[in-house]
Amino acid sequence: MDAYMFVGSRNKLWPISLRDCSALLLKSSSGGRFRYGMDVKSLKESLCWLYYQYLLVTGVYVLEPWEQAIFNSIFFTMVAMVIYTSYVFVPIHLRLALQFFSGLCGGQEESTVAVIN
């Protein structure tokens, strides 16, 4: 069994196998390097290269397809939770840290009397 990913535009998707991705990477005119470009071929090569790197780094390529699905769903759920938590809680902690360090560095505390006047 070969792993597949789908690339293309909104109206048309083409299944690309991992074997095709590695072949595209080897035949790439950039010598196998990641390059930035706006044409569809380089975008396809870039996506294949990133997917190939993901498979190699995580070791997912050695799993069965159903194991890959479970691993990917758990992994991407965890990534989504980290992004959401960062979006919600990091600004609050940054504001509190800024208030704390401005108080340490001699910053003026807000006065309720100054706010009322």
Asked if 33 and 53 count as a contact pair (C-beta separation under 8 A), the reply is no
- pTM of full prediction above 0.75: no
**Mean pLDDT for the stretch of residues 90-113:** 77
d(CA 36, CA 19): 22
The pLDDT, as a whole number, for residue 23 is 56
Could you tell me which residue, 13 or 56, shows the higher pLDDT? 56
Q: Render pLDDT for 60-99 as a digit per residue (tens, 0 to 9).
A: 989 899 999 999 999 999 999 999 999 999 999 899 888 8
Burial of 49 (0-12, 13-18, 19+ CB in 10 A): buried
> What are the boundaries of each domain within the chain?
1-62, 64-117
- Give the separation between CA 80 and CA 107, rounded to whole angstroms: 37
